[in-house]
Structures are given as structure tokens and as C-alpha cells.
Chain A
Amino acid sequence: MTAASDASLQAAPVHKARGYWATVGRRLMRDKVSVVCAAILLAILLAAIFAPLLHLADPYQGSMIRRLRPIGTPGYPLGTDELGRDMLSRLIYGGRLSLLIGILPVILAFCIGTSLGLVAGYAGGKVNTAIMRTVDVFYAFPSVLLAIAISGVLGAGIVNSIVSLTVVFIPQITRVAESVTTSVRNLDFVDAARASGAGPFTIMRVHMLGNVLGPIFVYATGLISVSMILAAGLSFLGLGTKPPEPEWGLMLNTLRTAIYVNPGVAALPGVMIFAVSICFNMLSDGLRSAMDIRN
């Protein structure tokens, strides 16, 4: 009997949440800026995923005789880099690693931070103190410093970059999750749910999650913007992936010497980082106002 009721409880919120999220989605679709940003992000993401199907030049194949061709060279629409490799191809392939190390840490931190914040906010008392005081310690470091410190100590590498960025973002998401949870926790409907005899996990799943996830999600979307810049920054410093792997931050670094010869090409990887970062920021703002439904 308990199992049956549990299954039926799980079925309920999914069916409900659609009502709210459908409204948010509709409102978001009406915001032109958000739609454009989402389209750009989707295009970059799809291009990166399906890069092998796009008949691009080999991103690793260089040539000493055609180094640093300017933008618009026939056959090389975006020019070539310092080793004569096709920039268009490297920028598209570069999205694979750059997006991975930019987005994955936020997703990981979202899962871990939300769980921690939810527990801290719902349990309150000593559990809250233990979790939040630990979080405070990480807050005592500026995030760039913390990311570079961890990355620097662990050594260069993609996994290490992802780990260090995740560690940096967990406290931030935990804090947001805790404060949202605490404010929802104090609303009467949670007491009403407790009064109906439901246990803490059922209440968290049915009554808390749906009300808490939205704000945390918006925050995390904005965080991706920061994460993209930081992740590429780690590679730029040489703490991410290693040459000849295409990755925007690393490409920016290796092209630095080329600014005297071909500044346009040298600046291109940064344009990609900038585009992704600003699109996530705008999308986050759009999502925030779309979710602010007040009648």
C-alpha cells in the first residue's frame, strides 16, 4: 500500500509542473532577445556535437606555408592559425571541449549544491549550521583565486579543471538553494503538508523541489556565463587541455604572439567565449523575468 501511494505521489508533480513551466516557456518564447540567444547557443552546441558531419578541414592538420592567413582567404573563411590550421574548423571543434569544461561544472555543482542547500534549508538547526559554515569557508576565497589555486595544485588537465570549477560553484549554488529553501520552508503550505502526515522526503519532493528549483536554475544559467570565462581562462593560463587540442582558451593563448601579424584571427577564439557567455547571461535574465509570474 505504501509503495502504491509512493508511486502515485511521484506521478503527481510531473503532471502539475507542466502547467507552470508551460507558462514560463510561452513567456520566454515571446522575448525576442532570449529566443535569439537560445538559437545562437543551440547552433554552437549542435555544430560542436556534429562537427565531424560538417565536412570541415582537419583541425589538427597544419602547414608551415599557409600560417596566419587573414579572415576571408579563399578556402579558409576565418583564416589560419599560427601553425596553418583552419580556424573555422578549430573554432567549431573547440566548442566541444570549451562547452564541456564550461557547462559540466555548473551542472555538477547544481546537483550537489541543490541537494546540500535543500537539506540545510529544510532541516535547519545544527545540520544547517554545519553545512553553511563549511560553505562560508569557501566563500572566504575570491572565486577566480580558488579555481586557479585548486587547478594549479592539481596540475593541468581537463578533469582537474572541471573538478576545480565544480568546487568553486558548489558553495555559491548551495547558498542560493539554502536561502530559497528556507523561505519556502516557512510558508504555510509546507506546514499543511506536514500536518497531513507526510514525511520529510515526500514533502521535499512534492512540495519543495518545484518551488525551489526555478530560482536555483536561473542562478545556475547565469553561472554558466562565469564558468565559460573561467574555464577558458584556466586553459588560457595553460591549466586546461594541452596543444594541439582545439579549445578556445588555449587557442587564444597560443595565438597571442600573432597579434602583431594577424590581429583579427588572434581575437577570434575570444569572440566565441564572449558569444556563449553573453548569450547565457541574457538567457538567464530572460528566464528570470519569464518566471516572475504575478497576477
Chain B
Amino acid sequence: MTTLLEPIADIGGAAQPLLDVKGLTKHFPIGGGLFAEKKIVRAVDDVSFQVGKGETVGIVGESGCGKSTTARLLMHLMPRNSGDILFDGQLVGETLTLRELRRGMQMVFQDSYASLNPRLTIEDSIAFGPKVHGISDKDARALARDLLTKVGLRPEVFANRYPHEVSGGQRQRVNIARALALKPRLVILDEAVSALDKSVEAQVLNLLTDLKREFGLTYLFISHDLNVVRYISDRVLVMYLGQVVELGPVDAVYDGPAHPYTRALLAAMPAMDPDERTMEPPISGDPPNPIDPPAGCRFHTRCPFAEAVCSETVPALSSVDASGHLAACHMVIPGSGHSRAPALEAA
């Protein structure tokens, strides 16, 4: 009998979100010195969202919108400027240690090669985490082999190989096994399938779905690929220049996008059906510089519906309908001053 890591006990019950992020903010200072003016990149700016137990939440957005920074902040891999990250209602440093958090929350990185130590065999890479948490070498290896089977790799073939000796898809399976080795409750998948070929991507997505069911996992799925996010997510969160612009159940957002940015993103998405191809021009221009984001709504410089209010006031995330569909756009805020905004309901 091997001694394995105990599953992490649930604390707040099913109603309490597994992850509750409040006002997460990360600013990177750049430059600065004798003659250079100090500038600040607002990589993540006041981001709040929740991930329910057993849910898969997708985060989409263009590159540079702060998706990956958000992931690293959640893992506590870099210090944040402000904001709270509650894991099952617990705050690191109060009722939860960093080590405990990092057991409960694991991450799969985009670059399958860079995220494995080239000097360790696959088995050792997977066994490293459990050993850090006190599992014996023998048991950790047994666990690693068991997990290899679970992610669809035959241990007798792969356990003693080095990362450069296997394919990209296989490496990503190894990374998934490594993340699962600590029996986490939440797995952050940061562009985990983005670098893979389409056919391999589909296999890994199916594997993720199966593993979720088997281990009762919760996923935070970060990707720039809207199709993939729709396929795997229950709810989706759209980020633009470090801020959440739209958030809601995946079908509600995809079928009735409320924010012009989401609409533009969806319009630019390659249709699976050639008959549904859009001839509409996609979103124009590059995203503005996050060093110096525009005032008011950050999207107003590229928005076809921008009006005076958009460059003056920052729109708050507001309900679009009762399903929990929120958008940060003056066009959904009653009485915002935008000509397309709904009228204020009479009290």
C-alpha cells in the first residue's frame, strides 16, 4: 500500500466559490533611472471574478491583455500590487499557507518544453511535487507511473525518457500529469493547448474533460482561441488591456455578446461552417499601449460606437440579463449617457 497525499478537504460547501478574486491589480514599473521617466504597465487592473466548484471558466483576450499575468498572480508566482485571492474562502497568510495553496491550485504552462526540466526524466518531473510534500521516493514514482497511465502515456515507455525525447502533445500530457500529482482542486491551464497541432489539441482537450470528471476538478482555462474556450468552458471571461470587459455563461456571451469588443472578437473568429463566413471587417488596429491606457473605457479608441461618455467615464461591470451575464460597457448601463444605453427604469 502506498501512502499518498490526502485529498484536500472542502471547506465552504458547494455554494462557496473555489476561487474568489477581488480587485486583482498588477503594475510593472519599466525604465526609470537618472534620465528616463519611470513608466508603469498596467498589466492587470482591478480584475474580479469567481470560479465555482466543479466549474470550468475560460479567459479569452488578445495577446498582451493580461491573461497570463493573471494566471501567475493566482499561483502567487509574482507579487501583486493589490487585491485578494480567496481559495475556498481562505486567504494565503491567514488561514492558508502558500504551500497549501500550491497543493490545491496547480498550473499547466503553454510552452510544454520550457516547463519541464530538461535534466530530469519524465517520471522524476512528475514525482518532484509529491516528494516536496513528503511522499517517499518510491511512492512518488509509483504515483507518477500511475498518472502517466491516466494521461494516456504508457509508463514503461515514457517514464525514463527525457523531455526532448517525446512529442509536444506527449509533453503536454506529462505537464498535466505533473499538475495532477499534487491532487489539486483547481488547475489553471495557461494556453495549455495553444501550441499543439489541431488534431493533438482535440485529444488533449478530451483528456482534460475526462480527467475533470474522474478527479472532480475545477478548471481555469486561459486561451486566445475562442472555439476551444467555447468547447470546454461553462462560463467565460473576456479581458481587454488588463481589465474584464465581459463575463457570463458561455452560450450567453457567445450568442449575445454585449460588449463591442467581444462582438469584434467573435466576428473575427474563423467560422467552422464556410456558409457562415463573415465578410464584416474584423476589429481594426492594434490594442493601445498598456503603458498608457486610454482614459475612460479602454476600448473607446477602437470602438465603432464610442461617444463622449466613453472617453470620460470608466464603465463598471453591469448586468446584461439575469443569467449572470455582465459587461463593462456604457451601452448596457442604464442612464450612462450613451445614446444606445437602456433607459433608467422608473422606480
Contact = CB atoms under 8 A, between A and B. Distances in A.
Given A5-B133, A12-B131, A192-B109, A197 B98 contact: yes
Contacts of B118: 211
Interface string B43-82: 0000000000000000000000000000010010100000
A203 to B, nearest CB: 9
B326 interface: no
Given A187-B114, A198-B128, A211 B119 contact: yes
A197 B119 contact: no
A5 B131 contact: yes
Interface stretch (A15-23, A161-169, A229-237, A239-247): A15-23
A16 B132 contact: no
Interface string B197-214: 000000000000000000
B75 A197 contact: no
Nearest to B140: A8
A4 B136 CA distance: 7
A210 B165 CA distance: 18
A197 B133 contact: yes
Contact of B119 (A1, A198, A210): A210
A290 to B, nearest CB: 16
B117 A207 contact: yes
Contacts of B136: 4-5, 8
A195 B106 contact: yes
A1 B139 CA distance: 13
Nearest to B97: A197
B128 A193 contact: yes
A154 interface: no
Nearest to A188: B115
B103 A197 contact: yes
A73 interface: no
Interface string A1-43: 1101100110111011101100000000000000000000000
B137 interface: yes
A181 to B, nearest CB: 14
Nearest to B188: A195
Contact of A1 (B107, B120, B134): B134
Contact of B129 (A191, A197, A295): A197
Contacts of B164: 293, 295
B154 interface: no
B124 A196 contact: no
A189 interface: yes
Given A195-B106, A196-B129, A16 B124 contact: yes
Given A16-B120, A210-B119, A211-B117, A9 B77 contact: no
Nearest to A293: B164
A16 B115 contact: no
A17 B162 CA distance: 11
A129 B112 CA distance: 32
A256 interface: no
A196 to B, nearest CB: 4
A196 B102 contact: yes
Contacts of B128: 9, 12, 193, 196, 198, 206
B178 interface: yes
Given A12-B124, A19-B162, A194-B77, A189 B134 contact: no
A15 B120 CA distance: 9
Interface in A200-244: 202, 206-207, 210-211
Q: Which of B106, B111, B127, B131 has the most CB of A within 10 A?
A: B131
Contacts of B116: 189, 192
B108 to A, nearest CB: 9
Contacts of A202: 132
B340 interface: no
Contacts of B107: 191-192, 195
14 contacts: A5-B133, A8-B131, A8-B137, A8-B140, A187-B114, A188-B115, A191-B107, A194-B102, A197-B98, A197-B99, A198-B128, A198-B129, A198-B132, A206-B128
Given A197-B98, A198-B132, 10 more contacts: A12-B124, A12-B131, A13-B119, A187-B115, A192-B115, A194-B77, A196-B182, A197-B182, A206-B128, A211-B117
Question: 10 smallest A-B Cβ distances: which pairs?
Answer: A8-B137, A196-B129, A188-B115, A210-B119, A197-B102, A188-B109, A197-B99, A188-B114, A198-B132, A1-B134
Interface of B: 72, 75, 77, 98-99, 102-103, 106-107, 109-111, 114-121, 124-125, 127-129, 131-137, 140, 162, 164-165, 175, 178, 181-182
